[in-house]
Amino acid sequence: MTEQAKKYLSDILAAIGLVEEFSKDSPTFPSYQADLKTKSAVERQLEILGEAVNKYSKETPEFPLSNVPRIISFRNRLAHNYDNVDDAIVWAVMKEHLPVLKQEATEYLEK
């Protein structure tokens, strides 16, 4: 794996770590919805994560991550369709999909 690919994995893990940190004060979906600062911070980190996943997948196709097309599509929606972001989808990504991505990125980085 190239050093650049490792950097992208580190960026992915850093973004996930920040999402976890930012969202810890909003442990329920209603509290997340009501916290505009947290929503904004989480959405920004998910954009960064999506960009890093996109670059990583092009750099290192031999070490694939799960759901790359969906992650990239979600990133594009956050960035370009900002006025129509569904909080429930963001919440589901945070709670269901980020743990899987975190595990995969960690395993690849440790190889």
Active-site residue, from 70, 77, 80, 97: 80
Q: Which of 44, 70, 75, 97 is catalytic?
A: 75
Reading the block at residue 42, the tokens are: 């989480």
Whether 75 sits among the annotated catalytic residues: the reply is yes
DSSP string, the chain: --HHHHHHHHHHHHHHHHHHHHHTT--SHHHHHH-HHHHHHHHHHHHHHHHHHHHHHHH-TTSPPTTHHHHHHHHHHHHH-GGG--HHHHHHIIIIIHHHHHHHHHHHHH-
Is 97 known to be catalytic? no
Q: Which positions are annotated as active-site residues?
A: 75, 80
